[in-house]
Chain A
């Protein structure tokens, strides 16, 4: 089964430098450092997550992505990662530009608001969807932007960001391969590999 980790692993060069924006408990960085011998840092603001990183020996820096990334030089990392965080940032488009300035390649993953389940809840029940991927109520959610794969790709086009590769995860596990044919409706998480 494809996971964010397995897809990202496939796009990372061994012994490269990785910056993980919103690294959570550092599990992905730890995995990449074991499997690909990468050297990297995670940026995080959640206290428990920061401590989890320290406890597992992952380099973690207490830094709020909403305050900018000026402290990192142009093209100073081989890969800049952002998993399931873009939708929580104040200005996702500026964050994307910054990622592409700092990293030679950027990998972004985010939950798809165009998934049939979310569409269904909104259309039929008339309520903001609460799903496994978007598990918060509308008033206390850290996810302040809701967008679909289509929205994201239009943004990339507008900002001259080239999509080198993309993979869609989740959805109906069936032989119909609906999530491949129609990902914007049938897959819940996208993994994009971007370059400027």
Chain B
């Protein structure tokens, strides 16, 4: 049991001198464990592992009731008809794993599509059979901003990812071998096209909203521009019209890290029963670092030493907390993600340019859209900066589209879009409450 401040008062006076420092150390350790727990929340990959622990004890104040679990329906659908990808390759069939939360109303008008980002999956909310909590559980569920009492929420694992949907770690039906590096290259348009297959499968004509952060926001924008009559609202969070050179550069460093692992085997590592763990971990460490802010790292780790003695002459034994944390995150990620998927999806991010086919003018692109937009950015996000979101907003106002925008104060960097934040939660719930009110038929 951790020692709390209050219990310190009840320590026998005679023992104070000898035990106070021990108690204080224990208390410090408790505080440290709290920090540790909180910092784990930062990592997207980690959210799943936190499981019910996070559900029962919210670490930050929130309006969302976190004690309610979201019933999770897990599905897999096979589309046995072809999909033509942007690269020209035709997949004769493909499969999507997806989850749904809440109930579709009789008018089939209350469906919200959740678009995951680079390393996301279909398990967005609730606790699944393995006891893992969804990556956006804080925002999706009964009474939460994406309120499953009002909405039927659909979250697919996208094509080319590695959690049950067709991707590099699945079998190519034509060769009966694992796709590996032979999996065709993908673009955001392919993800959206495949999501439209799912939409038809679910017999939904129009999404009440398409919602996504980061790469997910790019999908939401693509939906709005290319399928204007298929959605009423697009919620674009911590996203961009296209990646900056710096962003592409970070992705290239990550890919190079994977490819230079001797176990990568030109992408055929699964066939050769190995895995480029080191390269993938390194790629993730680079990525993860860029999703956090300098301030958040400083606040959480400072110069804390994890092991070794910094005052001793043998400094080679010293490992800083921040190093230990990053190594841990990298290794954990390497155990859950497919290296080919990582390469494929970072390339998708690089290729995305909303205005590419619209005279390089995003306002021209957005003139195709009919839906209303909510755009959100986070002050300390330097990977998808507030400036990137402002460019989206400027293009939307120039295109005379309905848009609301807020830049939320946070020191959590890009990862802020996954984490608890009262202002962000309030804006999202206020916006979606109006969407819910506009639906004719309510789910009781």
Q: Are B390 and A54 in contact (CB under 8 A)?
A: no
Residues in A with CB closer than 8 Å to B430 are: 51, 54-55
- Stretch from B28-36, B42-50, B398-406 at the A interface: B398-406
Q: Are B434 and A55 in contact (CB under 8 A)?
A: yes
CA distance A71 to B405 in the complex (A): 14
Q: Are A17 and B402 in contact (CB under 8 A)?
A: no
CA distance A60 to B396 in the complex (A): 12
Q: Are A62 and B400 in contact (CB under 8 A)?
A: no
Q: Are A54 and B403 in contact (CB under 8 A)?
A: no
Chain B residue at smallest Cβ distance from A57: B434
B423 within 8 A of A: yes
CA distance A188 to B426 in the complex (A): 36
B393 within 8 A of A: yes
A76 within 8 A of B: yes
In the complex, per-residue mask of A111-146: 1 if CB is within 8 Å of any chain B CB, else 0:
000000000000000000000000000000000000
In the complex, per-residue mask of A37-74: 1 if CB is within 8 Å of any chain B CB, else 0:
00101000001001101110111111100000001110
Residues in B with CB closer than 8 Å to A60 are: 404-406
Chain B residue at smallest Cβ distance from A41: B397
Interface hits, B403-427 → A, CB 8 Å: 403-407, 423, 426-427
- CB within 8 Å for A53 and B404 given contacts A61-B397, A73-B398: yes
CA distance A17 to B401 in the complex (A): 11
Q: Are B405 and A62 in contact (CB under 8 A)?
A: yes
- CB within 8 Å for A61 and B405 given contacts A17-B400, A73-B398: yes
In the complex, per-residue mask of B243-287: 1 if CB is within 8 Å of any chain A CB, else 0:
000000000000000000000000000000000000000000000
Q: Are B423 and A47 in contact (CB under 8 A)?
A: yes
**Secondary structure type dominating chain A contacts:** mixed
Interface hits, B68-84 → A, CB 8 Å: none
CA distance A33 to B392 in the complex (A): 24
Chain B residue at smallest Cβ distance from A26: B404
Q: Are B433 and A50 in contact (CB under 8 A)?
A: no
Q: Are B402 and A59 in contact (CB under 8 A)?
A: yes
Q: Are A54 and B400 in contact (CB under 8 A)?
A: no
Q: Are A72 and B397 in contact (CB under 8 A)?
A: yes
Least CB distance, B370 to chain A, in whole angstroms: 14
Q: Are A61 and B400 in contact (CB under 8 A)?
A: no
CA distance A60 to B433 in the complex (A): 16
Residues in A with CB closer than 8 Å to B397 are: 41, 61, 71-72
Set A17, A54, A71, A76: member contacting B404, Cβ < 8 A: A54
Least CB distance, B386 to chain A, in whole angstroms: 9
CA distance A58 to B404 in the complex (A): 8
Residues in A with CB closer than 8 Å to B360 are: none
- CB within 8 Å for A71 and B394 given contacts A51-B427, A62-B407: yes
Set B400, B407, B433: member contacting A55, Cβ < 8 A: B433
Task: Output the residue of A58, A62, A71, A76 with the most chain B CB within 10 A.
Answer: A62
Chain A residue at smallest Cβ distance from B397: A41
Chain B residue at smallest Cβ distance from A70: B394
Chain B residue at smallest Cβ distance from A64: B407
Least CB distance, B271 to chain A, in whole angstroms: 51
- CB within 8 Å for A61 and B393 given contacts A51-B427, A54-B431: yes
Q: Are A59 and B434 in contact (CB under 8 A)?
A: no
CA distance A62 to B398 in the complex (A): 16
Chain B residue at smallest Cβ distance from A53: B404
- CB within 8 Å for A50 and B394 given contacts A17-B400, A55-B433: no
Residues in B with CB closer than 8 Å to A76 are: 398
Task: Output the residue of B398, B403, B406, B426 with the most chain A CB within 10 A.
Answer: B406
Set B398, B403, B427, B434: member contacting A50, Cβ < 8 A: B427
CA distance A63 to B394 in the complex (A): 11
Q: Are B394 and A62 in contact (CB under 8 A)?
A: no
Residues in B with CB closer than 8 Å to A17 are: 400
Residues in A with CB closer than 8 Å to B423 are: 47, 51
Set B374, B403, B431, B434: member contacting A41, Cβ < 8 A: B403
CA distance A63 to B403 in the complex (A): 13
In the complex, per-residue mask of B383-397: 1 if CB is within 8 Å of any chain A CB, else 0:
000000010011001
Residues in B with CB closer than 8 Å to A39 are: 400, 402
CA distance A1 to B400 in the complex (A): 34
CA distance A53 to B430 in the complex (A): 9
Least CB distance, A76 to chain B, in whole angstroms: 7
Q: Which 5 A-B pairs have the closest CB atoms?
A: A55-B430, A62-B406, A71-B394, A54-B430, A61-B405
**28 pairs, CB–CB < 8 Å, chain A vs chain B:** A17-B400, A39-B402, A41-B397, A47-B423, A50-B406, A50-B427, A51-B427, A53-B404, A54-B374, A54-B404, A54-B406, A54-B427, A54-B430, A55-B433, A55-B434, A57-B434, A58-B404, A59-B403, A60-B406, A61-B393, A61-B403, A61-B404, A61-B405, A62-B405, A63-B405, A71-B393, A71-B397, A73-B398
Extra contacts besides A54-B427, A60-B404, A63-B405 (19): CB < 8 Å: A39-B400, A41-B397, A41-B403, A47-B423, A50-B406, A51-B426, A54-B404, A54-B406, A54-B430, A54-B431, A54-B434, A55-B430, A57-B434, A59-B403, A60-B405, A61-B393, A61-B397, A62-B405, A71-B397
Residue positions of B touching A, CB distance < 8 A: 374, 390, 393-394, 397-398, 400, 402-407, 423, 426-427, 430-431, 433-434
Residue positions of A touching B, CB distance < 8 A: 17, 39, 41, 47, 50-51, 53-55, 57-63, 71-73, 76
